Structure 1
């Protein structure tokens, strides 16, 4: 551990010894580049981290393990929650009795909407007549 601290101090100064709480999100292509460079130059995780200015050498070790266990796709995984699937829902299949019940409820719902619209129009007409009566005064009748 002392070698790690000394190397970080040599390359980054006091900032290299500070505790960092940033969650850097490295792209898959960058991870692959780091692993390839390490293999080509036969370097340690520490020296590779210093070369690429990565704060924690163990992160490179984690990438290597993932690559060894699961292959290339393991380096290109996204962090966080997956996006919501916007695929269309499968149509629901109903039995004939459920279908007739559904049709009956839809018809009833349509009739209630028509009745509701009619009552709103009657109410608006009544309000308009009331307003007209108030405007014309109590002596006139319609």
Structure 2
């Protein structure tokens, strides 16, 4: 059974929830922090390990899982050495809004007023990104009460 087949299943068998499947792929602390660091330009095993302070065996496992899931790809080191590098695939890059949403939630709820923290800004202007929120097709911001999940029968 391949990576995606295993992640399509919950304890009862088939898992029809996209949130549950996504969490099965990137829902642990280390996987998300690796993806965050990849967005910040880290590429080598030693860079991830230095940034995260994670044990080698855990980092090896999470990198393998992210490669198997198609979120990261390996390529020869850019310096021509024997080391391989990990780069975000297009699928991995599409996790950017997820990482931004987690960051923005953390900024709003996990820091005291005025407490310093890193900031995500637009490169060209240096201005912070607008808060991300679900929108209706006409552009209106939606609250949780204005959306619903249509469950399978």
Q: Could you say which TM-score interval applies, normalised by the shorter chain? A: under 0.3
So what's the TM-score if we normalise by structure 1?
0.24
Structure with greater helix percent: 1
TM-score between the two structures when normalised by the length of structure 2: 0.23
Rg (Cα) greater in structure: 1
